[in-house]
Chains A and B, each alone.
Chain A
Amino acid sequence: MKWQIIFSGLRARPVRTGVTVLAVSLQVALILVIVGLTTGTVNEIGKRIAGVGADIMFQPSGADVLLAANSATLKESYAPKIAEKEGIQSIAPVLVKISTSPLVNLFGIDPPSFDQVSGGFEYQAGRVFSAPNEIVIDDIFAKDKKLAVGDSIELLKNELKVSGIVTNGKGARVFMDLKALQEINSSPGMVSLFFIKLKDSHDINGAIAKLKLDFPGYEIRNLPEYTELMNGASIPGFDAFNAVVVFVALCIGILVIFLSMYTTIMERTREIGILRSLGASKTFIVTLIMKESILLCVIGVVLGTIGSELIVNGAKSVYPTLAFLISYKWMMNAAISALVSGVIGSLHPALKAASQDPVEAFAYE
């Protein structure tokens, strides 16, 4: 019976109901889209790096798990010394560089060694670069920037020409000659990391342990496990950023629900007086108001989740390089955030409604 009052009340005030549900959906969508973007981006980078196909990533001492955060402080000449160690099949030096306009990561590679480690690119068009001003790009970057073989694009303040387009997933979106990128970066002979392929990939951790004995202090990581490293625990500020997003969304939700429920109990003072005169307890009134609030939030959660999927799909079609990851965990977090907003936001209005004097409520016009 309580639900009948709640549903009829919501139907009788369609604008209030619609605006409240919309606000809660925005709260849910805000969490899912923003956290989905950060998580998705990090996850996509992890998958792309792991997708190189190497077994080990060898970085200088103190290097961050985020490749873009590091500079080129590893001597390229180290490569032969590592390569001569037992169990190493091949080694590929890579210089990682970030272009800020447009925002994209570049790998400076030596194609023969990179192919040996990664198994080679899958070309969709064109060929490998053969001049310092040529680049190979992946299909997603090509689609995003509407580039074809032969087109030029300015990266790192250099006019670079597309020589080939490859299938995405091999570390970076743009590849160019290692020496050329070292020249642009003013760091001849220096690289960011080495990708290492083992003769036997079954005991990567054993090989890492041996390398650590020979090269103490260096960051030597298991590449197939790299995706797992790309999470909140290993990226500074990542979890804090997500927590701030949830907190802001929660505050918005609480304020919206508070205003909505406060307005509705002021409108329905006389109705509450009728219920109190019929013998409705304070608990009855409080649960009535809170159930209405929670129902609005549940509808908002459903619409917000659907809405966030639509936003993500729309954003991906416009910006193909964007990566989103809307996980069940974050769907639950967003739903809990909305429901907590519903409970906290409606608590004061519900208590106010329940404490109304029935005589005064009846006198209210």
Chain B
Amino acid sequence: MLLETVDLKKTYRTGKVDVEALRGVNIRIRAGELVAIMGPSGCGKSTLMHLLGAMVRATSGQVLVDGKDIARMNDSERTAVRRTKIGFVFQKLNLLPTLTARANIEIARTIQGSEGDSPTDSYLAEILKLLKIDEKLDRKPSELSGGEQQRFAIARAVSHRPAIVLADEPTGALDSKNSEAVLQMFRELNRKFQQTILLVTHNPELAGYADRLIEMRDGLVVHDSGSVASAAVGV
């Protein structure tokens, strides 16, 4: 199992009030899956994404990545997990505005320790071609459309071949045409390179691009269209 959560809980303190963002989430993701996590605003899907991406520590429970629990790791350990295992795509403003698209990818590879290869190496060249941005590498984010910026963010996220790509509302700032194109590209990345991808969205139409749909409400998973447990019992 590539990714697994066990009774995962996260409580935030806002002033004197404790807010339970996750109240015991159990999910299991296999390598090569394209999974959509859906739910209304405030249901805990972004919190789940942050925990899966080693951005924050869990209050209790486990997050197992390749069998290793990252839920209670300290900051430097979680940073190392992000660097080696995770690729992020956020809703907007993903790119460093002062750098060219090429430099945005290079800085990620520098941080991730794969600086030796230029962004034109064969794997990355294929990704850039697939995402149809291979001729726009020398443009700055301000010279790219929203869809193109998001495609570069995807290229950067997968450039070091992470175990899993986490995309938090990746089409939230795009029009319908660009949204469709970006989601199509996520699917192609998944199909062609067996890249494991988790998409968070509140748009039901986008869920159609995923192999599997997980629905959340009030900090809990309320439906999983293809859980490993469900699959085992033929649900």
Contact = CB atoms under 8 A, between A and B. Distances in A.
Interface of A: 1-2, 4-5, 8-9, 11-12, 270-271, 274-282, 284, 357-359, 362
Nearest to B75: A282
Contact of A279 (B96, B97, B111): B111
A1 B106 contact: yes
B209 interface: no
B99 A278 contact: no
Contacts of A12: 97-98
A270 B79 CA distance: 17
Nearest to B106: A1
B122 to A, nearest CB: 21
Contacts of A275: 96, 107, 111
Interface string B94-136: 1111110001001110111001000000000000000000000
Interface stretch (B28-36, B82-90, B225-233): B82-90
B97 A359 contact: no
Given A1-B106, A2-B110, A282-B75, A274 B98 contact: no
Given A270-B93, A284-B111, A8 B98 contact: yes
A278 B97 contact: no
Interface in B24-73: 50, 53, 55-56
Contacts of A274: 94-96
B80 interface: yes
B176 interface: no
B76 interface: yes
A1 B112 contact: no
Given A277-B82, A358-B55, A8 B103 contact: yes
Given A1-B110, A276-B79, A8 B84 contact: no
Contact of A4 (B82, B86, B99): B99
Contact of B82 (A1, A271, A279): A279
A12 B141 CA distance: 13
A105 B204 CA distance: 92
7 contacts: A4-B107, A5-B103, A8-B99, A8-B103, A9-B98, A274-B95, A280-B83
Interface residues on B, range: 20 to 34
A214 to B, nearest CB: 78
B35 to A, nearest CB: 20
Contacts of A281: 76, 79, 83
A359 B80 contact: no
Nearest to B100: A8
A271 B56 contact: no
Contacts of A358: 55
Contacts of A270: 93
A270 B96 CA distance: 9
B55 A359 contact: yes
- A5, A9, A271, A279: which has the most chain B beta carbons within 10 Å? A279
Nearest to B82: A279
A284 B111 CA distance: 8
A278 B50 contact: no
Given A9-B98, A271-B97, A274-B96, A279 B80 contact: yes
A13 to B, nearest CB: 9
A359 B79 contact: no
B76 A282 contact: yes
Contact of A1 (B53, B98, B115, B156): B115
A208 B60 CA distance: 89
Pairs A-B, 6 closest by C-beta atoms: A279-B83, A8-B98, A1-B110, A12-B98, A279-B82, A277-B88
Interface in B135-181: 156
Contacts of B55: 277, 358-359
